[in-house]
A and B are shown apart, each in its own frame.
Chain A
């Protein structure tokens, strides 16, 4: 986990106003979208706009991801060829398969070499949005070392499955489980599908908590107003941070005393609890809630 991706916010690639403000909206990561948000007759202009934005607009340190069209399409190939020289942090690849990822990796590598960009520096985030992608996600991840996270795309997935998409999300329980588990196995991030009803803040909290409970590490957002709620769920609370710090302190004391297993506040503390505490601390540092120096 090099950077936090608690929230990944979609920004339409054909909206100059939204693009110029994208960096101030508080999201960890922004996704400039040239795929679903942009109609066919605007693909060229959106691509142009994104290229200029990557050169000119200050995103104030946000990770900038570009969702391209599928690399096997003419649009997608052009997206990758023309945008790679502008050095986005990552590309998001829709309808991911091993072949789409292989193709994307090859095109990006070729351009990186041509442009003198360090090969492999631009990352990939495949979207698992077909039954095939969910089932083959491990193979897809193995296809490219660039992959740092997988986004679950529930709308297309449920369409592919010919099942209804509901607010409760019972129908994507399996997919969330599977994506979260496999991402964890590969030590990459699992990004949950966005919550579609932007006016339902209670529903957003519940849906975000569901994803988190299954091992998702972040969530996509389709409206800036969703970002704070998502961060609230995926950022350790002050209590969690305090507890984690106490566990780490107790561990350091125990280590000095040469104890492997020790008790803290009446509970036996073993390796899994320490691992959990370390993860909380790491996330808190990345979220700017803890000073790294202070933890040394």
Chain B
């Protein structure tokens, strides 16, 4: 079977609990969806929730072979929670589990051996990098990993496509009744936006904390009525790894040139005006865009409504300077963002569902004006790959990419036209993460291409003397300099199924071929 993008989805692809639906376009059907009912164990008021023993907590959760357990990634590459829990589960001999993690980082390398031993046979994630991603690419996971978007993960959990039996929620601060906040404690990570759906929809919820405080753990982000047990451990994370990510504006002249070109597009689009909303990533070029935007907003005395997504200190500074009225924070990238969340009432936490779930009563991305996105590859139809690298290995995933691209009025992909000898513009991307229909502009250091679907934007660029090329012309420029790389070889085994935000299958990832 081929989906609407022409991607071959073999009949052999299956997913637990549901029928396969192929991606058929980004249009959201405005129809009733039914959220799953949640099994709730009524708490015994005489029995406390606090447990100090990991094995006991797992036993209490009723975890059995074949179940699905979930984790959030707010502790990023400093997360100890998954490794602690999985080591104990392996020891207990429980098998055939699926891990539903909002994202997987290099620190979760021990998961590879659990995959090899059969403890873990399935993985769900919106993003993965490091040894686990490599092992999955090499076919070491029994079932294909399911890659979704941040909003799509919430959708899947809420409707039951992804049924979580036990959620282990890393809790930087927690009280004995299970009230959780992420802003306090030695392992503070800020917003817990990605854990929200897990807390609400998992059959059993275990808060895992290294900072048990006297009741109540104000300010409360995840509330006690969703939490079955509170597991107290020595440490849930390494602060050095929790607040990672690039938070410096790039000094690379090519990155700066891309940022300058991006600002020209934003200015010409007409969206740079009072009340605008804006989202950008934590990469150096993205922050350079924010920096130029800041200068123009100051000069023109423009105040924006909100900035959203993963939050860095740079965006916090813009909030503090009064350039935006509010930050909508699904994830904090650095200490400055955590600090701002604590002290500024206009710095607001949002859940992944509020952020990007296409099947709720309205996600934030639908009112977002401008989003700046990355790409490892983009094809002539503007389909973007952020999932696999040039050798076919999984090295990322959509995260909020597809959600924001679909919602924002102006979605801009920024990329070097080539990195080393790899071109960004290709005939066909290795994996489709985000459909081209939702990608409006590609900005590179050597030119700007507008999606032909956005004739209105092309007209605006002309009117403001912003030089525009076709994406084919950009491809030609790159190929003239570095040639056309050979297509990579892959095996026939599917190692991952890539879901669009609505749960349809947009692509599959094949096992890399032995070199």
Q: Does A232 contact B (CB under 8 A)?
A: no
**Chain B: which residue is nearest A228 at the CB level?**
B260
**Chain A: which residue is nearest B254 at the CB level?**
A21
What are 14 A-B interface contacts by the 8 Å CB criterion? Answer: A20-B481, A21-B253, A24-B254, A24-B445, A25-B253, A26-B257, A26-B260, A57-B481, A58-B477, A58-B481, A223-B253, A224-B256, A225-B251, A225-B253
The residues in B between 471 and 491 inclusive whose CB is less than 8 angstroms from any CB of A are 477, 480-481
Contact A21 B251 (CB under 8 A): no
Ranked 4 nearest A-B pairs via Cβ = A224-B253, A24-B445, A25-B253, A21-B254
Min C-beta distance of A92 to chain B, whole Å: 21
Q: Does B142 contact A (CB under 8 A)?
A: no
Known pairs A21-B445, A26-B260, A225-B256; list 20 more (Cβ under 8 Å). A20-B481, A21-B253, A21-B254, A21-B257, A24-B254, A24-B257, A24-B445, A24-B446, A25-B253, A25-B257, A26-B257, A57-B481, A58-B477, A58-B480, A58-B481, A223-B253, A224-B253, A224-B256, A225-B251, A225-B253
**Chain A: which residue is nearest B257 at the CB level?**
A24
Min C-beta distance of A202 to chain B, whole Å: 15
Chain A, interface residues (CB within 8 Å), range: 10 to 19
Interface string of A5-40 (1 = CB under 8 A from B): 000000000000000110011100000000000000
Q: Please, how many angstroms separate the alpha-carbon atoms of A245 and B445 in the complex?
A: 34
Min C-beta distance of A88 to chain B, whole Å: 20
Interface string of B81-97 (1 = CB under 8 A from A): 00000000000000000
**Chain B: which residue is nearest A199 at the CB level?**
B251
Q: Please, how many angstroms separate the alpha-carbon atoms of A59 and B260 in the complex?
A: 18
Q: Please, how many angstroms separate the alpha-carbon atoms of A26 and B446 in the complex?
A: 11
- B257 contacts across to A, CB distance below 8 A: 21, 24-26
- B477 contacts across to A, CB distance below 8 A: 58
- B256 contacts across to A, CB distance below 8 A: 224-225
Interface string of A223-258 (1 = CB under 8 A from B): 111000000000000000000000000000000000
Q: Please, how many angstroms separate the alpha-carbon atoms of A223 and B251 in the complex?
A: 10
Min C-beta distance of B364 to chain A, whole Å: 34
Number of interface residues of B (CB under 8 A): 11
Min C-beta distance of B292 to chain A, whole Å: 10
Q: Please, how many angstroms separate the alpha-carbon atoms of A223 and B260 in the complex?
A: 16
Q: Please, how many angstroms separate the alpha-carbon atoms of A100 and B256 in the complex?
A: 39
Min C-beta distance of A224 to chain B, whole Å: 4
Q: Please, how many angstroms separate the alpha-carbon atoms of A223 and B446 in the complex?
A: 19
- B251 contacts across to A, CB distance below 8 A: 225
Q: Please, how many angstroms separate the alpha-carbon atoms of A223 and B256 in the complex?
A: 12
Min C-beta distance of A286 to chain B, whole Å: 17
- A224 contacts across to B, CB distance below 8 A: 253, 256
Min C-beta distance of B151 to chain A, whole Å: 36
Min C-beta distance of B313 to chain A, whole Å: 19
Q: Please, how many angstroms separate the alpha-carbon atoms of A20 and B417 in the complex?
A: 12
- A24 contacts across to B, CB distance below 8 A: 254, 257, 445-446
Interface string of A206-234 (1 = CB under 8 A from B): 00000000000000000111000000000
Q: Please, how many angstroms separate the alpha-carbon atoms of A113 and B484 in the complex?
A: 39
- A225 contacts across to B, CB distance below 8 A: 251, 253, 256
Min C-beta distance of A255 to chain B, whole Å: 32
**Chain B: which residue is nearest A23 at the CB level?**
B446
Q: Please, how many angstroms separate the alpha-carbon atoms of A26 and B258 in the complex?
A: 12
Interface centre among A21, A57, A58, by most chain B C-beta atoms within 10 angstroms, is: A21
Q: Please, how many angstroms separate the alpha-carbon atoms of A57 and B477 in the complex?
A: 11
Min C-beta distance of A42 to chain B, whole Å: 21
Interface string of A168-187 (1 = CB under 8 A from B): 00000000000000000000
- A57 contacts across to B, CB distance below 8 A: 481
The residues in A between 50 and 73 inclusive whose CB is less than 8 angstroms from any CB of B are 57-58
**Chain B: which residue is nearest A198 at the CB level?**
B251
Q: Please, how many angstroms separate the alpha-carbon atoms of A57 and B251 in the complex?
A: 23
Q: Please, how many angstroms separate the alpha-carbon atoms of A24 and B254 in the complex?
A: 8
Min C-beta distance of B442 to chain A, whole Å: 15
Min C-beta distance of A28 to chain B, whole Å: 15
- A25 contacts across to B, CB distance below 8 A: 253, 257
Interface centre among B253, B257, B445, B446, by most chain A C-beta atoms within 10 angstroms, is: B253
Interface string of B222-263 (1 = CB under 8 A from A): 000000000000000000000000000001011011001000
- A26 contacts across to B, CB distance below 8 A: 257, 260
Q: Please, how many angstroms separate the alpha-carbon atoms of A14 and B418 in the complex?
A: 20
- B480 contacts across to A, CB distance below 8 A: 58
The residues in B between 355 and 401 inclusive whose CB is less than 8 angstroms from any CB of A are none
**Chain B: which residue is nearest A56 at the CB level?**
B481
- B481 contacts across to A, CB distance below 8 A: 20, 57-58
- B446 contacts across to A, CB distance below 8 A: 24
Min C-beta distance of B326 to chain A, whole Å: 30
Min C-beta distance of B423 to chain A, whole Å: 13
**Chain A: which residue is nearest B251 at the CB level?**
A225
Min C-beta distance of A274 to chain B, whole Å: 30
**Chain A: which residue is nearest B480 at the CB level?**
A58
Q: Please, how many angstroms separate the alpha-carbon atoms of A162 and B256 in the complex?
A: 38
- A20 contacts across to B, CB distance below 8 A: 481
Q: Please, how many angstroms separate the alpha-carbon atoms of A57 and B257 in the complex?
A: 18
**Chain A: which residue is nearest B445 at the CB level?**
A24
**Chain B: which residue is nearest A20 at the CB level?**
B481
- A58 contacts across to B, CB distance below 8 A: 477, 480-481
Min C-beta distance of B255 to chain A, whole Å: 11
Q: Please, how many angstroms separate the alpha-carbon atoms of A20 and B481 in the complex?
A: 9
Min C-beta distance of A72 to chain B, whole Å: 34
Min C-beta distance of B180 to chain A, whole Å: 43
- B253 contacts across to A, CB distance below 8 A: 21, 25, 223-225
Q: Please, how many angstroms separate the alpha-carbon atoms of A21 and B418 in the complex?
A: 11
Min C-beta distance of A62 to chain B, whole Å: 13
Min C-beta distance of A95 to chain B, whole Å: 29
Min C-beta distance of A9 to chain B, whole Å: 9
Q: Please, how many angstroms separate the alpha-carbon atoms of A121 and B363 in the complex?
A: 63
Q: Please, how many angstroms separate the alpha-carbon atoms of A224 and B250 in the complex?
A: 13
Min C-beta distance of A155 to chain B, whole Å: 22
Interface string of A256-287 (1 = CB under 8 A from B): 00000000000000000000000000000000
Min C-beta distance of A15 to chain B, whole Å: 12
Q: Please, how many angstroms separate the alpha-carbon atoms of A20 and B477 in the complex?
A: 12
- B445 contacts across to A, CB distance below 8 A: 21, 24
**Chain A: which residue is nearest B482 at the CB level?**
A20
Q: Please, how many angstroms separate the alpha-carbon atoms of A21 and B256 in the complex?
A: 12
The residues in B between 42 and 97 inclusive whose CB is less than 8 angstroms from any CB of A are none
The residues in B between 429 and 481 inclusive whose CB is less than 8 angstroms from any CB of A are 445-446, 477, 480-481
Min C-beta distance of A222 to chain B, whole Å: 12
Min C-beta distance of B275 to chain A, whole Å: 27
**Chain A: which residue is nearest B444 at the CB level?**
A24
Interface centre among B257, B260, B477, by most chain A C-beta atoms within 10 angstroms, is: B257
Q: Please, how many angstroms separate the alpha-carbon atoms of A20 and B480 in the complex?
A: 12
Q: Please, how many angstroms separate the alpha-carbon atoms of A133 and B256 in the complex?
A: 37
Min C-beta distance of A54 to chain B, whole Å: 15
Interface string of B250-294 (1 = CB under 8 A from A): 010110110010000000000000000000000000000000000
Q: Please, how many angstroms separate the alpha-carbon atoms of A26 and B257 in the complex?
A: 8
Q: Please, how many angstroms separate the alpha-carbon atoms of A20 and B253 in the complex?
A: 12
Min C-beta distance of B419 to chain A, whole Å: 10
- A223 contacts across to B, CB distance below 8 A: 253
Q: Please, how many angstroms separate the alpha-carbon atoms of A225 and B291 in the complex?
A: 14
